[in-house]
Structure 1
Amino acid sequence: MGTQAYAWTDGRSRPAAGDPENGGDGRHDVPWLATVQSVLDLLPGMSGYLVPEVDEAGRMIDLIWAAASPAAVTPDGPHGAQLIGLAMSRHQPEVIAGDRGRTCQRVLDTGEPADLGPVRIGQSDFTVRAGRLGPGLLITWQRLEATGPQAGAERLAEVERTLAAEHDLAARLQQIILPIPAEPIDLPGLRVAVRYLPAGQEAMIGGDWFHAAALRDGSVLLAVGDVAGHGTQAATTMAQLRHALRALSVVTSDPGVLLEHLNRLIWELEADDPELAATAVIARFDPRRHQLVWAQAGHPPPLLSRAGRTAPLSRPAGPMLGVVDGARYADAVIDLTPGDVLLLYTDGLVEHRQRGPDVGLDTVIAAVDDAVRSAPEQPLAEMLARLRRANPDDDTCILAARPLGRPRAPGMIKG
């Protein structure tokens, strides 16, 4: 059997945890592992984060403790921090070899949480549940108490505390992967505000992302993108696209060319995830010429508010990322001058299971028009306040931008 390793969030293979010869101690190189441990420190009862040790074929052969709650304990005595780096096969070999081991593999493959069945530790019985988190499993043990109204209430309260902690963990991970500025930020010639609205689902990390940064030539690069799905796989792909865009912008700032590169990246990633799908819109603002060049990949077009009227821009050609190998993405050019407001967004803002996208778009346009009329001097804050309602089915990322300076005379929308 070849070298045993487990996959981490950055796609590299690491030595098996607890293997000092190879440098593995179960704690290093996972950027958010300290956050996982800090959340587990607050969880009531027994909880642990375990990473799989795999063979050359990528199948799990063991589980290694990478983080543990203070109350976590094994049948042979180690507890809390003493568990870090230990293999599950050492104290519960039947878990790895039996049906529960196969269930753990299924959770890792599909991302669907599963019950591992009741287990006895000492004189107590526990129900065990596993869910995928990043490259590993978040496993919780809940003691089975005597029946009765009081016992039921206690169990319900513990479940609620656990769910609240899991939701807090998801929110912390989202903030680490995609930090959202709390206030508008000023870039060369442009003020930008961002709002992220997670879907109305508990403990879910999404694939929506944004980018807003000044370039070395004095222009500004803006982007919003959406990776299909939820969970750590979508969040991982989102982070790869966002970081790739930042690196590529050092070489080129042409939006269409940048999308061509991101399309090639998605094609590479589809080797591991054939169902991968993503959209994006990228724009470059030149503050000296008050000009915006933009391109899109299967993404909703930006909205432009000018002289009291909001309308979507005419969308240049460009397929979704990862759909057409070697796809080309056309650029479009518009003027963007003081007094204008530009809105980039993901489809969660306009699509809803209880209404069609056209109705959703009309609602957003009306909200933008009202915001600009109500607060013409500070439209960004007013606009985001009016668009704060979350979509229960999908995440939403909104990026609003307005050129700085004195408004020009009213004109027509071009492009």
Structure 2
Amino acid sequence: MGGQAYAGTARSVGERDDGWGWAATVQGVLDSLPGMSGYLAAEVDDRGMMTDLVWAAVTPEAVTPDGHRGTQLIGLPVSRLYPEEIAGDRWQTFQRVLDTGEPVDLDPIRVGESEFTIRAGRLGPGLLITWARLADPTAGRLAEVERTLAAEHELAARLQQIILPIPAEPIDLPGLRVAVRYLPAGEDAMIGGDWFHAAALRDGSVLLAVGDVAGHGTQAATTMAQLRHALRALSVVTSDPGALLEHLNRLIWELEADDPELAATAVIARFDPESHELVWAQAGHPPPLLSRNGRTAPLPRPAGPMLGVVDGARYADSVVTLTPGDVLLLYTDGLVEQRHRGPDVGLDSVIAAVDDAVRTAPERPLTEMLARLRRANPDDDTCILAVRPRA
């Protein structure tokens, strides 16, 4: 890959994205971050090789070694500012980051009397570059690297808040009351790729989903956003859970061309408030828990592999009727998979907490339940979606 050049028309990766406004979204986050960071859209040829990088978003404090500040950089290509970079080793490093998604800390560079640290990571269809001036290259490098890592963590967290806002109180949908809780991983871990969806459809039914993208950081948040937005768009075409998972599986196969390590699971359900039927399907995901008459148990899981594992995979639907007094719990595996212990141990603890919550507060079981549940694995995010039929 290194050093090869391919003919073809250059095009911006950002332009190939599905119009979700990455530059505008990232700029909204960078506006409130300290330090010097920039988001660069990658122009690539037909073989995916970078031909240029264009400044698309920057922090207010960003200053390049040649004196460009903040928004002065927007729209400027790297080839114009630093033409020597195109043929340099750092360019090959940037290409590798874009290809693999693995962030890198580059060797410090000296410009005049100053030395700068540089960190590069992939964010969506472009690169997030963070740099800092070192007053003392020996003593200051570790502190600057820690600050850049903290900035990347904060960016990922804020992106997740933008992409995945969590309602503070239970929400009412046709025939259902829904409550959501998000339990982030420990403070030392990057933000993860757990997500949920709960919305009324045009035919009066309700679409529910939770999913889990493997990994942490901006790449996991990026894939999470792609899956969640894709589900919302696809629900205009079909509301069948199995069919929706087939479409998401094809999407993951496409994304794996850029990230072969990508893995994801999901469970999708559609509730009909007229018949009270819940049709659901899963892709390698823990089955929902149903609490009925004081007893909680997992629903029998229909067939369905993880997303991106089997090309052209089929996902079977299962049907259950929700009755007044029932409580349904959709969740990601961080709720039950305990470190050094099997998932059954964590599942038993969750079932006991649900039973106790329903018994203690039968009129408000969702609030009581979410207050009691804790993630089993401190290194993994957890998303919980609790549902109760409404009269």
* TM-score bracket relative to the smaller structure: 0.7 to 0.9
Aligned match of 1:86 = 76
Higher mean displacement: 269-278 or 165-174: 269-278
Equivalent pairs counted in the alignment come to 385
Aligned residue type for 1:128: I
Structure 1 residue 311 displacement after superposition: 1.0
Q: Distance in 2 between matches of 1:319 and 1:162?
A: 38
Q: Computing the radius of gyration over CA atoms, which structure comes out larger, 1 or 2?
A: 1
Runs (4+) of structure 1 exceeding 6 A deviation are none
CA offsets, 1:374-410, max 9 Å, x none? 22211111211222447333222211001123xxxxx
Q: Distance in 2 between matches of 1:195 and 1:393?
A: 17
Aligned match of 1:352 = 338
Structure 1 residue 131 displacement after superposition: 2.0
Q: Distance in 1 between matches of 2:373 and 2:66?
A: 54
Aligned match of 1:323 = 309
**In structure 2, do the counterparts of structure 1 residues 342 and 62 end up closer, same or farther at CA, with 3 Å as the change threshold?**
same
3-state secondary structure, aligned to 2:90:
helix
Contact map agreement 1:340 1:403 (CA 8 A) in 2 = yes
Structure 1 residue 254 displacement after superposition: 3.0
Q: Distance in 1 between matches of 2:295 and 2:358?
A: 9
CA offsets, 1:91-120, max 9 Å, x none? 333433222222222222222222221222
CA root-mean-square deviation: 2.9
Higher mean displacement: 29-38 or 101-110: 29-38
Aligned residue type for 1:278: A
Q: Distance in 1 between matches of 2:28 and 2:272?
A: 44
**In structure 2, do the counterparts of structure 1 residues 353 and 96 end up closer, same or farther at CA, with 3 Å as the change threshold?**
farther
Aligned match of 2:362 = 376
Contact map agreement 1:342 1:400 (CA 8 A) in 2 = yes
Q: Distance in 2 between matches of 1:91 and 1:249?
A: 45
User: What pairs with 1:380-395 in structure 2 (closer than 5 Å)?
Assistant: 380-389=366-375, 391-395=377-381
User: What pairs with 1:229-240 in structure 2 (closer than 5 Å)?
Assistant: 229-240=215-226
Q: Distance in 2 between matches of 1:261 and 1:130?
A: 32
Q: Distance in 2 between matches of 1:251 and 1:90?
A: 45
Aligned residue type for 1:8: G
Structure 1 residue 184 displacement after superposition: 0.9
Aligned match of 1:412 = none
Structure 1 residue 7 displacement after superposition: 0.7
Contact map agreement 1:9 1:30 (CA 8 A) in 2 = no
Contact map agreement 1:296 1:329 (CA 8 A) in 2 = yes
Structure 1 residue 139 displacement after superposition: 2.0
Aligned match of 2:264 = 278
Percentage of pairs with the same residue: 81
Any gaps of 5 or more consecutive residues in structure 2? Answer: 1-6
3-state secondary structure, aligned to 2:265:
strand
Q: Distance in 2 between matches of 1:46 and 1:267?
A: 35
Aligned match of 1:181 = 167
Contact map agreement 1:44 1:162 (CA 8 A) in 2 = no
Structure 1 residue 125 displacement after superposition: 1.6
**In structure 2, do the counterparts of structure 1 residues 328 and 139 end up closer, same or farther at CA, with 3 Å as the change threshold?**
closer
- Match of residue 99, structure 2, among 106, 109, 112: 109
- Match of residue 299, structure 1, among 277, 285, 310: 285
Alignment of 1:167 with 2:189, yes or no, is no
Structure 1 residue 171 displacement after superposition: 1.8
Alignment of 1:72 with 2:62, yes or no, is yes
Aligned match of 1:139 = 129
**In structure 2, do the counterparts of structure 1 residues 44 and 356 end up closer, same or farther at CA, with 3 Å as the change threshold?**
same
Aligned match of 1:119 = 109
**In structure 2, do the counterparts of structure 1 residues 191 and 163 end up closer, same or farther at CA, with 3 Å as the change threshold?**
same
Contact map agreement 2:99 2:258 (CA 8 A) in 1 = no
Structure 1 residue 188 displacement after superposition: 1.4
Aligned residue type for 1:212: A
**In structure 2, do the counterparts of structure 1 residues 40 and 120 end up closer, same or farther at CA, with 3 Å as the change threshold?**
farther
Any gaps of 5 or more consecutive residues in structure 1? Answer: 13-28, 406-415
Aligned match of 2:14 = 8
Q: Distance in 1 between matches of 2:244 and 2:136?
A: 61
Q: Distance in 1 between matches of 2:254 and 2:133?
A: 45
3-state secondary structure, aligned to 2:249:
helix
Q: Distance in 1 between matches of 2:22 and 2:376?
A: 26
Higher mean displacement: 129-138 or 306-315: 129-138
Aligned residue type for 1:3: T
Contact map agreement 2:214 2:262 (CA 8 A) in 1 = yes
Aligned match of 1:245 = 231
Q: Distance in 2 between matches of 1:314 and 1:56?
A: 46
Structure 1 residue 39 displacement after superposition: 4.1
Q: Distance in 1 between matches of 2:377 and 2:87?
A: 42
Contact map agreement 1:9 1:134 (CA 8 A) in 2 = no
Contact map agreement 2:338 2:376 (CA 8 A) in 1 = no
CA offsets, 1:23-76, max 9 Å, x none? xxxxxx662434433444444443322222323322123322222334433343
Aligned residue type for 1:277: A
Contact map agreement 1:35 1:169 (CA 8 A) in 2 = no
- Match of residue 318, structure 2, among 321, 332, 336: 332
Q: Distance in 1 between matches of 2:113 and 2:164?
A: 45
Q: Distance in 2 between matches of 1:238 and 1:47?
A: 23
Structure 1 residue 305 displacement after superposition: 1.1
Q: Distance in 1 between matches of 2:205 and 2:33?
A: 47
